[in-house]
Structure 1
């Protein structure tokens, strides 16, 4: 601070002919002082360095003078002239230039200090802002045409400081909203109304008394920008520290619209403008922390800003948009009935009839945000089952990588491209060193098909051993080795070259959790299948199974199961294939791959679903020996497999898992979830078993724990009621009585706690 209080007192005396006492106040860019005469008259004395030009401070004077003629003139301070009759005083002090201003003192309580804020106050606040902005329609000043990092229109620049946010979940959410600003707001920004605005009606700048705004201070953030940004800033801070932030914002919007009508496009964009204003704030706070600033003003809103940002991502943007529309008197965009008759008729006409739709009351999902899904009715759902979106719906890192490569090149693998080799290197670095040769495909089904083709070629055999109830995809070969399909409704006879081994289910099977040799005993069934083949002069081409069983009932394999199975299969000359399509990439928590839980190394690993976070990408990874044996002269070429966009996407997903420590999150959150479900099991006898690893979790519902009669009707009710509570889960298992919980890996402990609480309520009602 370049001035002592004695020097401040002298400056006021010299330039304003006032005898005062002085007290220092906080400030971000300026030095602020409360000065008081012996008669008790108060003023605010401001000193600013020449970081800003004289013209900018002149603009502050001019805008306040303009507002002195408005209907809300009494809500603003006035500038007291100096001894020369000027509102702005320039001094030179110790080689630097400073600008002095003396302001009248406004009374009232700061918004931030209020314990309660009535609806009437929020509406009055909005009406005041609208009146102020309307009064500034004919104001202009060239100094307000400036670049300003706090200008919401410049929000994209916050990406440069995103890395300063150290918490992975926080950085991810801020990155998501910055991405949405780029996609949802930026294309329309230039077409919005622009104006000269205050742009900082925050909770420490707004003065109130009762249900009325009595003043607005500090014009240091004023800028020429989109008009709606001024309202967005006000809503942002008014929403902080409130139980119902959307309601608070809607009241301000209502009051603003009464005074100065908003356009429908402005209303549509407001939700994202509020969110991105928070992103500017939290990235700036993180940056300030990274440079170890000691200015407390830099962190004054950090905690409530983060709390509000986390709350916003749980608010469906359709709901926010509609709430703001209704506040302005515009028609609702949400259909009041729940019917999708026409859409369903069109789907039935143009889409194959054997494509099912989840839930009795169908959902129309419009957007995804990490672990959340938003429907067209304004509801937000926590996604507890879409394991395909492994690192979260619309994860900003993945979307950006995909988008950037799309704008550069997407072609096939007949040309050299770094992405193909870079991703293969990164992917195989997570696997045992023997597994380092990749074949890229477009789906797990296609990958499993290829793995079987390779196995049959190398062994010269046709027969495949699978687990009962297994599912390996939709291609012809995959369906043939999926008992879940060929034994199910509309299925076909089991092919003679497909052999089903017993599902190693320690809850319902012959060998339970209390049998330390269960894995070896279940593996003996595979040995028996091999022996039966041998009697016919055959041997297995391959054994394939998921390393945790998905459709089979969310079942972790018993200890030592795969080591024994692989021993039997290899002894017969067969290939051991690990299907990691659903369970790989850190989902099991304690390991990166499911087969690592069994301490085995497969001959072939099949990857899909999470590898591209929803982008059509899969892979088959083999040993060099297998790859060489498969190199028969017939080229393996896949038009889209290994294309630059897919490779950039896969690499971004892998880097996100590693950089955001999502494997650890799967372990921590999964352990919390499993413990919570086991606690519910003590309370609700309908839960017969809880099992899983990491965020691969199953809870089997039974009507009787002794007979283990499956609670099919009950589980259907649970799934539907969980949906009504805002949780999307599903069922699995041969008896259709297992709750499957396989959320994106960004699923948090808070989400898990909410899920457990909801399930407890629903089971209590059953």
Structure 2
């Protein structure tokens, strides 16, 4: 389906940032030398919005150079930077990237490029390991993801920043605003997608607006979780804070759990390992548990709808944009075989350690 950019933008102004013009590797390499005093081999990383590069210094240390999309609000970029700095103080053992200061001690730079754009530049430590989507699945690994997700939410609980309340389409609390865009969904899926959104509006939204709210990572999918290559059961990195926003606390868990559901006759079972581990670190309120299943299903719907829209607009980057779409569709079909009562009972039992 081809969606004209102008009409789609008018239909929903909250769509993500357009891909920015590429920055040459040689330019990025020179920038790192000039401002960080770092001589390093460099290669480009995949990204939907920003320009990211992986660096390797002669001593073996590795870094990620992040050059923000020029259209991104400076307060939003700084939100991510300051969140990383805040978490590093609140929970020093949590495996997140660390901000590397410039020679002058700055956490961020604003640099002009040849295309006339001004872009925020940051250098972070690179967290080596196996991306979770490539690691063998296990209850032990899912449990560690749950614990790390809870620790991250706890560490961010007292974080305050003026950019935290920006509106983001990927925020579950705005899922109902996807309705005008459902033409992007293949017809075979549309009935189920609409049904999930109906339940979200009727059952989740009235509760969601009353729940504790705070800044959150907001994208704990397996591409943003790095696993220890030796044990294969321990999280050694939580990366990409680019979708960070302030939203209901339960949404972070719903997102992480949505990617652990499976296309089997027990579709929620793997996600329960993660949910139980999260609850053990940061106990969920009864009303949070009551709508968690709705939020998990809603996240799957969001992945399907938004990725289809963006892939149609930016076909040159469709492989990256659609990387989670096929699995989300399969998992949504399977969890739709559960009633809300069945799913909520399973979640309650998991939180009680049964």
Normalising by structure 2, report the TM-score: 0.89
Question: Taking structure 1 as reference, are residues 107 and 243 closer, same or farther at Cα in structure 2, changes over 3 Å only?
Answer: farther
1: distance between equivalents of 2:264 and 2:101?
41
Question: Taking structure 1 as reference, are residues 199 and 95 closer, same or farther at Cα in structure 2, changes over 3 Å only?
Answer: same
SS of the equivalent of 1:35 reads strand
| Corresponding position: 1:188 with 2:211 | no
Following superposition, the deviation at residue 242 of structure 1 comes to 6.9
Correspondences of 1:152-231 after superposition (within 5 Å): 152-166=172-186, 168-209=187-228, 210=231, 211-231=233-253
Structure 2 residue runs without a partner (length 5+): 1-20
Correspondences of 1:1-20 after superposition (within 5 Å): 1-20=21-40
Cross-structure match for 2:116: 95
Is contact 2:258-2:296 (8 Å) kept? yes
Cross-structure match for 1:104: 125
Following superposition, the deviation at residue 249 of structure 1 comes to 1.1
Following superposition, the deviation at residue 118 of structure 1 comes to 1.8
SS of the equivalent of 2:345 reads helix
2: distance between equivalents of 1:251 and 1:102?
34
SS of the equivalent of 1:238 reads coil
Question: Taking structure 1 as reference, are residues 129 and 243 closer, same or farther at Cα in structure 2, changes over 3 Å only?
Answer: farther
2:153 to 133, 141, 164: 133
Correspondences of 1:542-581 after superposition (within 5 Å): none
Cross-structure match for 2:293: 271
Is contact 2:23-2:51 (8 Å) kept? no
Is contact 2:94-2:148 (8 Å) kept? no
Deviation by residue 1:703-724 (Cα, 9 ceiling, x = unmatched): xxxxxxxxxxxxxxxxxxxxxx
Following superposition, the deviation at residue 128 of structure 1 comes to 1.3
Greater helix content: 2
1:117 to 97, 115, 137: 137
Cross-structure match for 1:250: 272
1: distance between equivalents of 2:256 and 2:304?
17
Cross-structure match for 1:704: none
Following superposition, the deviation at residue 39 of structure 1 comes to 2.4
| Corresponding position: 1:313 with 2:336 | yes
Cross-structure match for 1:687: none
Is contact 2:149-2:278 (8 Å) kept? yes
Is contact 1:91-1:97 (8 Å) kept? yes
Is contact 1:67-1:73 (8 Å) kept? no
2:100 to 62, 80, 93: 80
2: distance between equivalents of 1:220 and 1:289?
19
Deviation by residue 1:48-97 (Cα, 9 ceiling, x = unmatched): 12322222222112111111123463401101111221111101113211
SS of the equivalent of 1:75 reads coil
1: distance between equivalents of 2:265 and 2:222?
16
Deviation by residue 1:483-515 (Cα, 9 ceiling, x = unmatched): xxxxxxxxxxxxxxxxxxxxxxxxxxxxxxxxx
Question: Taking structure 1 as reference, are residues 2 and 119 closer, same or farther at Cα in structure 2, changes over 3 Å only?
Answer: closer
Correspondences of 1:740-755 after superposition (within 5 Å): none
Cross-structure match for 2:351: 328
Cross-structure match for 1:38: 58
Is contact 1:34-1:43 (8 Å) kept? yes
2: distance between equivalents of 1:244 and 1:20?
48
2: distance between equivalents of 1:118 and 1:242?
15
Following superposition, the deviation at residue 240 of structure 1 comes to 4.9
Question: Taking structure 1 as reference, are residues 202 and 156 closer, same or farther at Cα in structure 2, changes over 3 Å only?
Answer: same
Higher relative contact order structure (alpha carbons within 8 Å, sequence separation ≥ 6): 2
Question: Taking structure 1 as reference, are residues 286 and 249 closer, same or farther at Cα in structure 2, changes over 3 Å only?
Answer: same
Following superposition, the deviation at residue 40 of structure 1 comes to 2.2
Is contact 2:264-2:334 (8 Å) kept? no
Question: Taking structure 1 as reference, are residues 173 and 259 closer, same or farther at Cα in structure 2, changes over 3 Å only?
Answer: same
Deviation by residue 1:645-704 (Cα, 9 ceiling, x = unmatched): xxxxxxxxxxxxxxxxxxxxxxxxxxxxxxxxxxxxxxxxxxxxxxxxxxxxxxxxxxxx
Cross-structure match for 1:64: 84
2: distance between equivalents of 1:288 and 1:81?
34
Normalising by structure 1, report the TM-score: 0.42
Is contact 1:70-1:132 (8 Å) kept? no
SS of the equivalent of 2:260 reads helix
SS of the equivalent of 2:182 reads helix
Structure 1 residue runs without a partner (length 5+): 333-766
Cross-structure match for 1:380: none
1: distance between equivalents of 2:121 and 2:271?
36
Question: Taking structure 1 as reference, are residues 60 and 289 closer, same or farther at Cα in structure 2, changes over 3 Å only?
Answer: closer
Following superposition, the deviation at residue 28 of structure 1 comes to 1.2
Deviation by residue 1:23-51 (Cα, 9 ceiling, x = unmatched): 11101111111111122221111111232
Deviation by residue 1:272-330 (Cα, 9 ceiling, x = unmatched): 10111111111112212433522122111111010011111112221111111111118
Cross-structure match for 2:16: none
1: distance between equivalents of 2:338 and 2:306?
24
Cross-structure match for 1:345: none
Question: Taking structure 1 as reference, are residues 14 and 243 closer, same or farther at Cα in structure 2, changes over 3 Å only?
Answer: farther
Question: Taking structure 1 as reference, are residues 306 and 21 closer, same or farther at Cα in structure 2, changes over 3 Å only?
Answer: same
